[in-house]
Structure 1
Amino acid sequence: MKKVLAVLLAGILCVGVFAGCGKSDDGGKASAGSQAAQEEKKEGAMVGISVPKASTGWTAAVTYYAEKYCKDNNLNYKLVQAESTNDQANQIDDLISMKPDVIVLLPINDELATAAQTVKDAGITLVNFDRTLGATEPDYYLAGDNPGCGSAGADWMVETLGKEFDVAVCSVTSWGNIAEERKAAFEERLKEIAPEANIVNEYASESASQEDGLKLMSDVLQSNPELDAVFCVDDEQGVGILQAINEANRKDIKAVYAAGGGASVYLDKIKDSAFPIATVSYYPSMICDAIQIAVDVAEGKTHDAKTIEEAVVISADNMDEWKESIGFDPDAPY
């Protein structure tokens, strides 16, 4: 009897052991399958992203939105930030060596044309964001409407001041074609709709920083004892310009228009300003659209070769609605 019980117990133990092994094996397969699915998702189209290292809030926000978009969408990506044109060219070579499907490039300036051409020569799709690349034609290009940013400023200024006023035009020397497009479009449109308006002079700072804007505008004010308005090419430059006007207690200035951005530090001043000020949409979250183009074309979807996003004037009348329309992120560094 004892022998029979021993045999029965041994059988039960064997069944239990094999049942346990079977369960463990199934669970292992399920876990491995889940991990493989995750790895497969991460191993989708590889996107390289090259941007300048943050010198202004706008470029800092480009990186912020790019990282956030890639992480939120579980993309397979590599983002690098360059301190100089040589640094960016070297980083592009490094990205090429990783064999990505697409590279999204915000160049420091058009000196990156040669480096950009090496991307195309390597058979990698090139999506150019914002600043252009001179003679090198990207496969896809996405930017805000730079001429529209300028011409919209002329329309707003005439609506605000009428057709006769003196205006100073402030640009940024290091920006190349972007600043030139905004400035030229403003001047052309102003001449068209208000030929009596007088551009007292053109001025420029080296960068679009608030500090450079303050220094530039201090010189402009000294050179112009009487002035009605200021046009500048960037929000952050505009903050420095507003600071100079306030510190000089210049009551003669009746309007300031910044041709591009949507920077929170500038938007905060719109409703509290003693005189009308405005900006126009050129928000850094556009980089997300460029990245999505990269993902789409890598997956075989079609896109227009050139995408220009609309320039919308932002004033006290529509600022809240505009913020809501773009999903404005108060945590972004811009």
Structure 2
Amino acid sequence: MSRATSPTPRWWLTAAALTSATLMLTGCLSNNPEAVGDDDTSTADAAPAGANSEPGEDVVIGFSGPAAGHGWMGAITQAAQEQGDQFDDVELRVSEGTDDVNLQISQVEQFINDGVDAIVVLPFDGAALTEVAIEAMEAGIPVVNVDREFSSEFAARTTILGDNYGMGVSAGNYICERLGDDPDAVVAEVAGIDSLPLTQDRSRGFSDALAECDLEVSHRVDGDFTVQGGESATANLLQAAPEIDALWNHDDDQGVGVLAAIENANRDELFMVGGAGSANMMREIQDPDSVVEATVIYPSTQAADGIRLARLLAQGRGMDDLVQVEVPREIQLYAPVVTSDNVEDYLPHAFES
């Protein structure tokens, strides 16, 4: 089976350029839109510049995230802890990971009561954590929102996101490069949890990219982001689709079950593209006998980046590699495709499923 690296279509390059420009613009916005222009203070006076690696004022940062029962989520927390350990001027307080919304709310409330200098939150449910995040902001504690957005822009000073729509686009681009000359190609999709906006964004990006080469998703199931769910959903999909040319699986942890179902069904006519960028899926890419040809990165460094930015916010510093002196309002990370051509570059930094 031949393997090809998907070149990025011109329309996506244009979109990426526009997104970058938008991020630079949103980085200049105040947390409170009504406050912009209220006085004549220049942004140059708002936050001192300086090398971000230089020690600053000692600060305490609280971190709360979901339970690490998922390889990607475990990597998120580990990277955050390691990042905190790198700074002598940071005391990082990590709450026990939980999928209990009420418990996570109480964790953030405890950080507020303790008077920490900044809070980094990857919410189990962004909407449910919005109110307590607003409380922190109103108490003068900058909040960095990671991955799952709050439902109010007033709940966070800075938000760090993966590019869910871009993941779908990257997966679709790769499949278009492989199958774009076959209008009858059968494309399947194993999504995560359909009720989540991030899943909806991934599917929308995938569909939009396939449309560029006149392909569409013929068969689609959701696997609930678990190994068991991925295996069960894929088994059902394979029974319904006797022939498949390409399959995109949204999540590499879930992909362990997806691969098991493919192997149990003795299906080798298809190729598979993964999502998130786990080490085991990258090793599959290295195996010439595997159906896995690629995976799309969804960075597990988001909370670690959140710790870095929370430190700067708590210390009243900006980012020394930007002309704009303030920490940006929003940062969205890129979703590159990993294939046999570049897997050696990404594997050392991948998480284990």
Common fold by TM > 0.5 = yes
- 1:29-59 C-alpha deviation (Å, 9 max, x unpaired): xxxxxxxxxxxx8981111111111120111
Q: For residue 61 of structure 1, what is the aligned residue in structure 2? A: 75
Note closer, same or farther for the CA distance 1:117–1:174 as it changes in structure 2 (3 Å cut): farther
CA contact (8 A) 1:166 1:228 kept: yes
Question: 2: CA distance between counterparts of 1:149 and 1:134?
Answer: 22
SS at match of 1:116: helix
| Partner Cα distance (2:108, 2:352) in 1 | 25
Identity of aligned residues (%): 27
Tell me if structure 2 keeps the 8 A contact 1:82–1:91. no
CA drift of 1:109 comes to 2.0
Distance in structure 1 (CA, Å) of the matches to 2:240 and 2:167: 27
| Contact 1:142–1:306 (8 Å) recurs in 2 | yes
Letter in 2 for 1:112: L
Corresponding residue of 1:189 = 209
- What amino acid is aligned across from residue 81 of structure 2 in structure 1? E
**Counterparts of 2:269 and 2:172, CA distance in 1:** 19
Q: Deviations over 1:230-270 (max 9, x none)?
A: 112111112221221111001332x21123x2211211111
Cα distance in 1, alignment partners of residues 105 and 238 from structure 2:
40
Q: Cα RMSD over matched residues?
A: 2.0
How far has the Cα of 1:114 moved from its partner? 2.2
**AA at the equivalent of 1:50:** S
Residue in 1 that maps onto 2:133: 116
1:284 alignment partner, SS class: coil
Contact 1:129 1:143 in 2 (8 A): yes
Counterpart secondary structure, 1:173:
coil
Give the structure 1 partner of residue 199 of structure 2. 179
Secondary structure of 1:82's aligned partner: coil
- Runs of 4+ off more than 3 Å: 273-276
Aligned pair in 2 of structure 1 residues 174, 125: CA closer, same or farther (>3 Å)?
farther
Q: Give the structure with the larger helix fraction.
A: 1
> Distance in 1 between the 2:85 and 2:194 partners?
32
CA contact (8 A) 1:64 1:333 kept: no
1:306 and 2:330 are equivalent in the alignment = yes
- Taking CA–CA contacts closer than 8 Å with sequence separation of 6 or more, which of the two structures ends up with the larger relative contact order? 2
For residues 198 and 311 of structure 1, the distance between their equivalents in structure 2, rounded to whole angstroms, comes to 21
Alignment partners' CA distance in 1, 2:286 and 2:261: 18
Which residue identity does 1:225 align to in structure 2?
A: P
Q: Does the CA contact (< 8 Å) of 2:274 and 2:292 recur in 1? A: no
Give 1:97 deviation, angstroms. 0.9
Instruction: Check the 8 A contact 1:113/1:136 in 2, yes or no.
Output: no
Aligned ranges 1:192-231 → 2 under 5 Å: 193-195=212-214, 197-206=215-224, 208-231=225-248
- 1:131-171 Cα shifts (integer Å, max 9, x gaps): 11123442101122221111011110111223431112221
State the secondary structure of the residue aligned to 1:169. strand
- For the structure 1 residues 174 and 159, does the alpha-carbon distance in structure 2 shift closer, same or farther, using more than 3 Å as the test? closer
Contact in 2 for aligned 1:256/1:278 (Cα 8 Å): yes
Deviates further, 66-75 or 309-318 = 66-75
1:143 aligns with 2:161: yes
SS at match of 2:291: coil
After TM superposition, give the deviation of residue 217 of structure 1 in Å. Answer: 0.5
Mapped to 1, the partners of 2:189 and 2:232 lie a distance apart of: 15
Provide the C-alpha distance between the structure 2 equivalents of 1:250 and 1:217, rounded to a whole number of angstroms: 11
Cα deviation digits, residues 59-86 of structure 1 (max 9, x gap): 1111111111212323212111223111
* Counterpart-to-counterpart distance in 1, 2:249 and 2:103: 29
Distance 1:167 1:189, change over 3 A: same
How far apart are 1:219 and its partner, in Å? Answer: 0.9
Q: Which has the larger radius of gyration?
A: 1
Which 5+ residue runs of structure 1 have no aligned equivalent? Answer: 1-40
Report whether the alignment pairs 1:274 with 2:290.
yes
Distance 1:78 1:296, change over 3 A: same
Judged with a 3 Å threshold, the aligned counterparts in structure 2 of structure 1 residues 143 and 198 are, in CA distance, closer, same or farther, namely closer
Report the counterpart of residue 18 of structure 2 in structure 1: none
2:75 is matched by which residue type in structure 1? A
| Alpha-carbon distance, 1:291 to partner | 0.6
SS of equivalent residue, structure 1 residue 294: helix
